[in-house]
Amino acid sequence: MKKEKHPKLEDLLADLIGKELAKALSQLGEVEIELQDVQIMAEKLVLTIQPSALMRKEAVPVLEKPKELIMSRFEPPKEEWVGKVVEVKIGATPSEGGTRDRTIVIGGESAPAFHLFMETPPHPPIVAMDVFDMEISLPKAIKKYYGDVMSDPVEWARFNVEKYKADMINFHLISTDPLLKDTSPEQAARMVEEVLQAVKVPICVGGSGDPAKDQKVFEKVAEVAQGERILINDVTLDMDVPKMGELTKKYGHAIIAFTSMDLNQARELNRKLYDYLGKENIVMDTTTAAVGYGIDYAFTIMERARLAALMGDEELQHPMAAAASNAWAAREAWIKLPPEWGPKSLRGPIWEAFTALTLLFAGVDYFMMIHPVAVELTRNVINGLIRGRKELPEDLYEWIEREA
Amino acid sequence: MATTISPTDVYKYLPRTNCGECGETTCMAFAVKLVNREAFLDECPPLLTDEYKENYKKLWEMLKPPIKEVKIGSDDRAVKIGGEYVMFRHELTYVNPPPIAIDVTDTMDEALLVDRVKKIEKLIYYYIGRNIHLDLIAVRSVSKDPETFRKAVRKVKENTSFPLILCSLDPKVMEAGLEELEGERPLIYAATKENWADMGDLALKYGCPLAVYAPEDLDLLVSLATTLRKFGIEDLALDPGSFPGDLLHKTVTNFTMLRWKGIKEEDEILGYPLIGSAISSWFYVEGDEETKTWWEAITAAALVMRYADLIMMHSLAGWNILPLLILRENIYTDPRKPVSVEPGLRTIGQPDENSPVMVTTNFALTYYTVLSDIEAAKIDCYLLVVDTEGISVQSAVAGRKLTAETVADALKEFEVEKLVKHRKLIIPGLASRLSGEIEELSGWEVLVGPIDSSGIPKFLDEKWKKAETS
């Protein structure tokens, strides 16, 4: 064994180990190579190279720019959800003991809202239209769509179904409020009967927000609507929950359990209702806030509720309801603003539509809405998400380089 | 960063000296903040020294978001897109609100072009204590002529401080625009199956981020991203195409799948920011201008909700932009921030013993809205913030959080009678039903204020002055 300096090392190495490595080695400066067996047969040449020697200079990766597209495939993700939302049926047809011309089923999801690669929602979300039992102050942008019918709840309900093809009516008995007209439970129940006669779609009946009075009103309303399977809006923790549960069951209705942005309360209320009612009769409302006015809280509470339900939390496996008409609480929906923000007549309905659209993505199944344009838009969005068509526009590139 | 990463994993690579230079008392506390994304690596000075160079690199790898953060624009006024950690906002928080770009075209008359650029920049709304606005301008080459495009880009650049997006499918046109923007880092829109190699060269030559456009073809999108990465381009953004109307389901499905791959499956190829081109509504929707504006807005809102990190639009109608800006602001708010403010008595301006006393709730949004209305009108007064457990007026009245008792208790607790001579209390219009009970319980006379706090100045002018003299 002997050491020698080889003046033409680079060439020799290039033959043996390839040009690139040889070049890298030569750049290290003076190199000593041990040669075993001086009978130089190329195959028997052993190079002892300390790895650290090669590391002395930072290796710059030589990028070979691809010349062809490297074809790859997209693998759709796989999600696992174990829970399922219960289905709640609203309304009853003659064969079911009621007089409605259709029934509506909400809920039944087993994947997060519009994870359409996992599941097409079994039932499309419903947009129900509001009717109030007395004239209330509403922005002009809304009033102009209703005009005279607002003074007659029965006409208003009929108008919503005939003109705007409402899937359901939310009838709000606000006049029963002791601080407003203090309408009696009997009188309120009569109004509900009249609405049930005027329209054949399923209905939802709401109170005034006074827990003691609502309790009495719902007792009467539930009784006169027996068999129609109305949706009672709502029961809260400060009402007599057992009594509300009992009357809902006794007369065969469904009910909205309302809590204010607190999932523990939502669970507690549902749990209390389970003693009297099957799960398939309960819809949850965890409070709706408008875009710009707390929708982030409303959205996240609902999204958490739905994800928890899908992860197996049985106390939250209920369809969700949201009053998107609360959007009008946001001042930007109706206030006068500088001209660059456009007319109020458009800002209002888009506010309500955006509020609904946002909550659609949290998993809401049942919307209560008021502006006819917002209602139509929300229905269009739901259609586009669920029953949408498959054919694409012809030219998918033109928008980049053409006048709009 | 995987959402499962623990503070202990992070702690291992910190200096573990508890030096306190970051503001935390211990390295462990700093590690917890790092994991929660409430602190950043650069806040630890020792980590920036040579001694910890390797640790810094490790930590950076551990903590980096699964969705790469890409900057558009030169450093001093760049907008950041991507950089997201979670699929659902309550899992941590969303990070970078998707910037909104509005388009101009290179065939626009020069005066109109400049006018539109100014309009885009000046569309600003004051919302809960801050200005919200649009973010970028997209210059589209309609002429398909390099020199026309060059001129338009130059004109836009002279008239705006917003970062730019250059839109053309022709590399020659694109390069003319890029030559005008040396060092400005515009987003190149877009590399497609036809032009990717040339656009890739341009992205490298000019050091710009590159958009990849593969409409409704996720195989192609992955192929392009894979190829361009190999090409040496680090800052990519992916556009799977946006579709309005009956095709909205495609948009929502693609964006949701891509984000799930990027975050939950930590797929690096798909871990790039996503671009939503809501502007396509102007080509795909039939109908009048208003219909197209509606669909563009709705598509954009769906994209805010479904993971777009950058949104391109056309309409400047205003009524479409405002709800979008506010929705984006809301959804990208840190959900860990408290809903409520501290209850108590606030002194606004320089009130004296004759100044009005107004009641509001401690729901943060209500409080800040009322506060900004009072301050804007330069009113000197006391604002009694009642503890409604962070619920707004309407819900707090319905939910028995704002009652005669809670108001009377607050008056007592904060000793309001020591500050003013009068005994007149202004309550929110939405709490009007409480007025009788409050008068009975507290002994104060109640004036029912406006339903919205924007009506406070008018109310004070008309009602308070009268009440004061009575």
pLDDT tens for each residue of A155-165: 999 999 999 99
- At residue B37, the pLDDT reads 85
pLDDT higher than 70, residue A17: no
Contact A329/B at CB under 8 A: yes
Distance CA A349, CA A368 (A): 14
Q: What is the arithmetic mean of pLDDT over A56-70?
A: 70
**Which residues numbered 234-263 in A keep a CB inside 8 Å of some CB on B?**
236, 238, 260-261
Which residue is it, tokens 């807005």? B297
pLDDT higher than 60, residue A384: yes
Residues of B in contact with A332 (CB under 8 A): 322-323, 326
Name the domain count of chain B.
3
Contact A397 B169 (CB under 8 A): yes
- CB contacts < 8 A (A, B): 234
Backbone angles phi, psi at A255, to 5 degrees: -140, 150
Q: What is the arithmetic mean of pLDDT over A253-264?
A: 93
Contact A342/B at CB under 8 A: yes
Query: Does B28 share its domain with B83?
Result: no
Structural domain includes residue B452: yes
Taking CA–CA distances from B298, the nearest residue in chain A reads A354
More confident residue, B160 or A7: B160
Q: Is A73 exposed, middle or buried (0-12, 13-18, 19+ CB in 10 A)?
A: exposed
Structural domain includes residue B339: no
Contact A385 B88 (CB under 8 A): no
Residues of B in contact with A179 (CB under 8 A): 433
Nearest to A340 among B123, B219, B399 (CB): B123
Query: Does B194 share its domain with B314?
Result: yes
Structural domain includes residue B337: no
Distance CA B295, CA B398 (A): 36
Cis previous bond, B190, omega within 30: yes
Taking CA–CA distances from B431, the nearest residue in chain A reads A179
Cα dihedral: B87, B89, B95, B96 (round 10) = 80
Is B339 in contact with B371 (CB distance < 8 Å)? no
pLDDT higher than 70, residue A201: yes
Query: Does B127 share its domain with B173?
Result: yes
- At residue B445, the pLDDT reads 96
Contact A398 B261 (CB under 8 A): no
Taking CA–CA distances from B249, the nearest residue in chain A reads A385
- At residue A18, the pLDDT reads 56
**Which residues numbered 44-103 in A keep a CB inside 8 Å of some CB on B?**
63, 65-67, 69-77, 79
Query: Does B55 share its domain with B197?
Result: no
Taking CA–CA distances from A326, the nearest residue in chain B reads B394
Distance CA B382, CA B225 (A): 59
Query: Does B174 share its domain with B311?
Result: yes
Contact B394 A350 (CB under 8 A): no
Residues of B in contact with A65 (CB under 8 A): 197, 200, 230-232
Distance CA A216, CA A206 (A): 12
Taking CA–CA distances from A374, the nearest residue in chain B reads B294
What confidence category does residue A7 fall into, taking pLDDT thresholds of 50, 70 and 90?
very low
Query: Does B352 share its domain with B459?
Result: yes
Query: Does B293 share its domain with B359?
Result: no
Backbone angles phi, psi at B112, to 5 degrees: -65, -40
More confident residue, A150 or A51: A150
Structural domain includes residue B189: yes
Domain CATH code at residue B103? 3.20.20.20
Q: Which domain holds residue B29?
A: 2-63
Q: What is the mean pLDDT of chain B?
A: 94
pLDDT higher than 70, residue A175: yes
Domain CATH code at residue B47? 1.10.15.40
Structural domain includes residue B110: yes
Last residue of a domain, one of B274, B301, B331: B331
- At residue A55, the pLDDT reads 43
What confidence category does residue A8 fall into, taking pLDDT thresholds of 50, 70 and 90?
low
DSSP 8-state secondary structure symbol assigned to residue B347:
E
Nearest to B248 among A331, A388, A404 (CB): A388
Query: Does B273 share its domain with B191?
Result: yes
ipTM associated with this complex? 0.86
Query: Does B315 share its domain with B445?
Result: no
- At residue A24, the pLDDT reads 53
More confident residue, B81 or A136: B81
Contact A354 B320 (CB under 8 A): no
Q: By percentage, how much of chain A surpasses pLDDT 70?
A: 84
Which residue is it, tokens 């942005």? A261
User: Given the DSSP bridges, would you call strands A87-90 and A104-107 parallel, antiparallel or unpaired?
Assistant: antiparallel
Contact B323 A332 (CB under 8 A): yes
What does the pLDDT look like over B85-104, one tens digit per residue?
999 999 999 999 999 999 99
More confident residue, B407 or B2: B407
Last residue of a domain, one of B11, B38, B63: B63
Residues of B in contact with A292 (CB under 8 A): 127, 323, 326-327, 329-330
Taking CA–CA distances from A116, the nearest residue in chain B reads B253
Contact A139/B at CB under 8 A: no
Distance CA B219, CA B257 (A): 13
Task: Tell how many helices (H) and how many strands (E) occur in chain A.
Answer: 12, 12
pLDDT higher than 80, residue B17: yes
Angle at B71 between CA B68 and CA B77, to 5 degrees: 150
Contact B297 A385 (CB under 8 A): no
Structure tokens at B304: 């805010």
Q: What is the arithmetic mean of pLDDT over A191-202?
A: 98
- At residue B470, the pLDDT reads 59
Taking CA–CA distances from B192, the nearest residue in chain A reads A397
Last residue of a domain, one of B331, B354, B384: B331
Q: By percentage, how much of chain B surpasses pLDDT 70?
A: 99
- At residue B392, the pLDDT reads 83
- At residue A48, the pLDDT reads 47
Taking CA–CA distances from B370, the nearest residue in chain A reads A331
What does the pLDDT look like over B27-83, one tens digit per residue?
999 999 999 888 989 999 999 999 999 999 999 999 999 999 999 999 888 999 999
Structural domain includes residue B338: no
- At residue A62, the pLDDT reads 56
Distance CA B371, CA B377 (A): 10
What does the pLDDT look like over B233-252, one tens digit per residue?
999 999 999 999 999 999 99
Query: Does B316 share its domain with B351?
Result: no
The whole-angstrom distance between A246's CA and the closest CA on chain B is 23
Which of A68, A71, A73, A74 should be substituted to probe chain B, the one whose Cβ sees the most B Cβ atoms within 10 Å? A74
Taking CA–CA distances from A115, the nearest residue in chain B reads B253
Q: Which has the closest alpha carbon to A305: A274, A284, A288?
A: A284
Taking CA–CA distances from A291, the nearest residue in chain B reads B327
Which of B326, B367, B369 should be substituted to probe chain A, the one whose Cβ sees the most A Cβ atoms within 10 Å? B326
Residues of A in contact with B107 (CB under 8 A): 403
- At residue B38, the pLDDT reads 87
Residues of A in contact with B265 (CB under 8 A): 77
Residues of B in contact with A303 (CB under 8 A): 88-90
Contact B215 A392 (CB under 8 A): yes
What does the pLDDT look like over A333-372, one tens digit per residue?
998 999 999 999 999 999 999 999 999 999 999 999 999 9
pLDDT higher than 80, residue A57: no
Residues of B in contact with A307 (CB under 8 A): 88
Distance CA A280, CA A282 (A): 6
Query: Does B229 share its domain with B348?
Result: no
Is A263 in contact with A301 (CB distance < 8 Å)? yes
More confident residue, A3 or B461: B461
Domain CATH code at residue B425? 3.40.50.11600
Nearest to A388 among B221, B246, B279 (CB): B246
Residues of B in contact with A79 (CB under 8 A): 260, 264
Q: Which has the closest alpha carbon to B302: B358, B256, B349?
A: B256
Q: What is the arithmetic mean of pLDDT over B177-205?
A: 97
- At residue A1, the pLDDT reads 43
Query: Does B28 share its domain with B94?
Result: no
Nearest to A66 among B231, B256, B326 (CB): B231
Structural domain includes residue B7: yes
Contact A72 B433 (CB under 8 A): no
pLDDT higher than 90, residue B465: no
Which of A296, A302, A303, A352 should be substituted to probe chain B, the one whose Cβ sees the most B Cβ atoms within 10 Å? A296
What confidence category does residue B194 fall into, taking pLDDT thresholds of 50, 70 and 90?
very high
Structural domain includes residue B416: yes
Q: Which has the closest alpha carbon to A384: B302, B411, B314?
A: B302
Q: What is the pTM of this model?
A: 0.86
Q: By percentage, how much of chain A surpasses pLDDT 90?
A: 77
Angle at A40 between CA A34 and CA A44, to 5 degrees: 70
Backbone angles phi, psi at A121, to 5 degrees: -50, 135
What does the pLDDT look like over A21-41, one tens digit per residue?
555 555 554 444 454 454 544
Lowest-confidence range among A139-153, A278-292, B160-174, B360-374? B360-374
